[in-house]
Amino acid sequence: MSEKLKPCPLPWCRGKAELLDHGVKCSKCGLVAPGSPVSLKHAQQMALEKWNHRPLEQEMLEALKRAEEFIENGIEYGYIAMPDAPDPALETPNIIEKAIAKAEGKA
């Protein structure tokens, strides 16, 4: 089993995960992803896959990428003006870029 355990999926916790005999448990909040009672190796692998499966994170990453592309295209084709005057909204492309890098494990 070479897959690395992700932190707890609960956004208010994000504790460290521990691989148990028949599951995965958060060391901070106690959340458990049970495995399968068939065999120890099979149980651990199933628990690890359940624990690391984060469909919402993938959806958010895809949404961020689409937002980034939308903004880049809007700027390139002149639909979004980038004024010289300071405006906090001008940081949006950088914020999105950093969020994508973090979600992909590059930050």
* 50-62 CB burial, b ≥16 within 10 A, e <16: bbeeeeeeeeebe
Cβ-based neighbour number of residue 35 at 10 Å = 25
Cα separation of 66 and 69, whole Å?
A: 5
The pLDDT tens digits for 71-101 are 999 988 988 887 777 888 888 889 999 988 8
Read off the pLDDT of each residue in 18-29 and give the average, rounded to a whole number: 86
pTM of the model: 0.49
Q: Answer with the residue of higher pLDDT: 3 or 24.
A: 24
The pLDDT tens digits for 34-48 are 766 666 667 778 888
Query: In 3D, which of 61, 53, 41, 48 has the Cα closest to residue 103?
Result: 61
Residue 101's pLDDT is 87
CB 80 within 8 Å of CB 74: yes
